[in-house]
Structure 1
Amino acid sequence: MKKLLLRSVIVLVALVGLNWLASFIYVRWDLTEDQRYTISEASRQLLQNLDRDVHVTVYLSGDFPPGFERLENATRETLEEFETYAGGRLTYQFIDPSAATSEEQRQRQYAQLVDRGLTPTNLFANEEGKRTEKLIFPGAIVQVDTLGVPVQLLKGNRSSSSEEQLNQSYEGVEFELASAIRLMAPQERKRVGLLVSHTTIPPARLSDLIATLQQSYDVFLDVNSPESYDGLDALLVLKPDQPFNEDEKYKIDQYVVGGGNALFFIDGARVDSVSMEGTFAQPLDLNLSDLFFRWGVRVNTNLVKDLNSALIPLNVGNMGDAPQIQPLPWRFFPLLNNFGTHPITRNTDAIFARFMSSIDTVGGAAGLRKLPLLMTSPYTKLLNAPALVAYNEARQQPSPAEYNGGIKLAAVLLEGQFTSLFQNRILPSDPRSAGFRAQGEAGRVLVASDGDLVVNDFDYRRNAPLPLGYDRVSQNIYGNKDFILHALDYMTDAQGLITARNKQISIRPLDKVRVQEQRTRWQLLNLLLPVGLVGIFGALRYYWRRRKFGR
Structure 2
Amino acid sequence: MKQQLIKISVLVAILIGINLLASFVFLRWDLTQEKRYTISDATKNLLQNLDEQIVINVYLSGDFPPGFERLERAIKETLESFADYGGSNIAYRFIEPNDPKLQEELTQKGLIPTNLFANEDGKRTERLIFPGALIFYGGKEYPVQLLKGNQASGPEERLNQSYEGVEFELASTIRRLTLKDRKKIGFLVGHTKVPPPRFSDLLATLQQNYDLYFDAQNPDSWDKGDLLIIPKPDSPFSEEEKYKLDQFVMRGGKLLIFADGAQVDSVSLEGTFAQPLSLNLDDLLFKYGCRINPNLIKDLSCAMIPLNVGNMGDKPQIQPMPWRFFPLINNFGANPIVRNLDAVYSRFPSTIDTVMAPNVVKTPLLLTSQYTKTLKVPALIAYNEARQQPDPREYNNGVKTIGLLLEGTFSSLYNNRLLPTDPRMSSFVGQSKPSKIIVVSDGDMIVNDIDYTRNAPLPMGYDRLTRYTYANKDFVLYAIDYLVDPKGLITARNKQVMLRPLDKIRLKEERTQWQLINLIAPLALIGLLGLGFQWWRKSQFAK
Fold match (TM-score > 0.5)? yes
Describe the SS at the equivalent of 1:481. Answer: helix
CA contact (8 A) 2:412 2:430 kept: yes
Shift, 1:462, TM fit: 0.7
Shift, 1:318, TM fit: 3.2
Shift, 1:531, TM fit: 1.6
CA contact (8 A) 2:185 2:228 kept: yes
Describe the SS at the equivalent of 2:266. Answer: coil
Shift, 1:123, TM fit: 1.0
Letter in 2 for 1:302: N
Letter in 2 for 1:185: T
Alpha-carbon distance between aligned partners in 1 of 2:156 and 2:529, rounded to the nearest angstrom = 42
Letter in 2 for 1:66: P
TM-score calculated relative to the size of structure 2: 0.97
CA contact (8 A) 1:275 1:391 kept: no
Match of 1:179 among 172, 176, 179: 172
Shift, 1:433, TM fit: 1.8
Alpha-carbon distance between aligned partners in 2 of 1:472 and 1:444, rounded to the nearest angstrom = 34
Letter in 2 for 1:434: S
Shift, 1:445, TM fit: 0.8
Q: Does 1:420 align with 2:408?
A: no
- Residue matched to 1:285: 278
Pairs within 5 Å for 1:456-535: 456-535=448-527
- Residue matched to 1:191: 184
Alpha-carbon distance between aligned partners in 1 of 2:5 and 2:62, rounded to the nearest angstrom = 51
Residues 499-522 of structure 1 deviation map (CA, whole Å, 9 limit, x = unaligned): 101101100011222222222222
Q: Does 1:447 align with 2:454?
A: no
Alpha-carbon distance between aligned partners in 2 of 1:293 and 1:301, rounded to the nearest angstrom = 14
Describe the SS at the equivalent of 2:211. Answer: strand
- Residue matched to 1:103: none
- Residue matched to 1:14: 14
The share of aligned pairs that are identical, in percent, is 59
CA contact (8 A) 1:275 1:390 kept: no
Match of 1:429 among 402, 421, 431: 421
Match of 1:407 among 373, 393, 399: 399
CA RMSD, Structure 1 to Structure 2 (Å) = 1.5
- Residue matched to 1:218: 211
Describe the SS at the equivalent of 1:441. Answer: coil
Q: Does 1:254 align with 2:262?
A: no
Match of 1:232 among 213, 219, 225: 225
Cα 1:16–1:319 change in 2 (3 A) is: same
Letter in 2 for 1:451: G
Alpha-carbon distance between aligned partners in 2 of 1:370 and 1:467, rounded to the nearest angstrom = 30
Q: Does 1:335 align with 2:328?
A: yes
Shift, 1:314, TM fit: 1.8
Alpha-carbon distance between aligned partners in 1 of 2:509 and 2:317, rounded to the nearest angstrom = 51
Describe the SS at the equivalent of 1:219. Answer: strand
Shift, 1:186, TM fit: 3.8
Describe the SS at the equivalent of 2:517. Answer: helix
Shift, 1:258, TM fit: 1.4
Describe the SS at the equivalent of 1:418. Answer: coil
Q: Which moved more, 1:432-441 or 1:238-247?
A: 432-441
CA contact (8 A) 2:219 2:241 kept: no
Q: Does 1:396 align with 2:394?
A: no
Letter in 1 for 2:376: N
Alpha-carbon distance between aligned partners in 1 of 2:468 and 2:267, rounded to the nearest angstrom = 23
Alpha-carbon distance between aligned partners in 1 of 2:413 and 2:221, rounded to the nearest angstrom = 16
Describe the SS at the equivalent of 1:410. Answer: strand
Pairs within 5 Å for 1:261-272: 261-272=254-265
TM-score calculated relative to the size of structure 1: 0.96
Residues 1-47 of structure 1 deviation map (CA, whole Å, 9 limit, x = unaligned): 11111111111111122222222221111111111111000000000
Shift, 1:439, TM fit: 1.4
CA contact (8 A) 2:182 2:210 kept: yes
Describe the SS at the equivalent of 2:38. Answer: coil
Pairs within 5 Å for 1:194-205: 194-205=187-198
Q: Which moved more, 1:142-151 or 1:528-537?
A: 528-537
Describe the SS at the equivalent of 1:333. Answer: strand
Letter in 1 for 2:186: G
Letter in 1 for 2:104: A
Alpha-carbon distance between aligned partners in 1 of 2:192 and 2:417, rounded to the nearest angstrom = 29
Describe the SS at the equivalent of 2:339. Answer: coil
Shift, 1:533, TM fit: 2.1
- Residue matched to 1:36: 36
CA contact (8 A) 1:456 1:469 kept: yes
Shift, 1:275, TM fit: 4.5
Alpha-carbon distance between aligned partners in 1 of 2:539 and 2:145, rounded to the nearest angstrom = 65
Q: Does 1:301 align with 2:287?
A: no
Describe the SS at the equivalent of 1:485. Answer: helix
- Residue matched to 1:64: 64
Alpha-carbon distance between aligned partners in 1 of 2:535 and 2:335, rounded to the nearest angstrom = 63
- Residue matched to 2:366: 374
Alpha-carbon distance between aligned partners in 2 of 1:478 and 1:514, rounded to the nearest angstrom = 39
Alpha-carbon distance between aligned partners in 2 of 1:18 and 1:547, rounded to the nearest angstrom = 33
Alpha-carbon distance between aligned partners in 1 of 2:52 and 2:140, rounded to the nearest angstrom = 12
Alpha-carbon distance between aligned partners in 2 of 1:317 and 1:129, rounded to the nearest angstrom = 46
Residues 447-493 of structure 1 deviation map (CA, whole Å, 9 limit, x = unaligned): 11000111011111110000011111111111111111111101111
Shift, 1:544, TM fit: 5.3
Alpha-carbon distance between aligned partners in 1 of 2:36 and 2:473, rounded to the nearest angstrom = 27
CA contact (8 A) 1:373 1:411 kept: yes
Letter in 1 for 2:245: I
CA contact (8 A) 1:157 1:348 kept: yes
Alpha-carbon distance between aligned partners in 2 of 1:538 and 1:130, rounded to the nearest angstrom = 48
- Residue matched to 2:378: 386
Shift, 1:312, TM fit: 1.1
